[in-house]
Amino acid sequence: MGIVHKFVGTEAAYDWEEVPEKEVGGPPEVIGVSGKVLVGPLDGAPNFRIRYFRIEPNGHSMLERHPHDHGIFVLHGRGIVRINERLVEVHPKDVVYIAGNELHQFSALDEPFGFLCVIPPK
């Protein structure tokens, strides 16, 4: 197959060629979270997915706990990652591993907070 998704965005709005939006669910109070599937089923990738998420300033993801794990690489902005009862401020190039069944949430500080998120296949 061999697929290249060229970056076609700007620093203010990341975007790639031929990459689908990731639908972001959650209750109405979860605002300002969007995502794209950089590597996933449309690429024929059976073993993992790589998604890009962007959280608008002062927004946050849902507080959640699920069996699958997350590998995170921060791309832009500053955010707070909650892992169980721990809060950590993270910056570009920081790496976070959240194991399965850990309670977690991502919050943006004063700029759009963007990161890669790797998960196993569904």
Residues 38 and 52 sit within 8 Å (Cβ to Cβ): yes
With CB under 8 A as the contact rule, the residue among 22, 69, 80, 109 that binds its own copies is 69
Choices 21-29, 42-50, 53-61, 105-113 (CB under 8 A): range interacting with its own copies = 42-50
What tokens appear for 89 in the block? 């401020």
Choices 4-12, 26-34, 56-64, 105-113 (CB under 8 A): range interacting with its own copies = 4-12
Under the binding rule (CB under 8 A), the answer on residue 109 touching its own copies is no
User: At CB < 8 A and 24+ separation, what contacts does 80-88 make?
Assistant: 80/106, 80/107, 80/109, 81/105, 81/106, 81/107, 82/106, 82/107
Applying the rule CB under 8 A, the residues between 6 and 35 that interact with its own copies are 6-7, 9, 14, 16, 19
Active site residues: 117
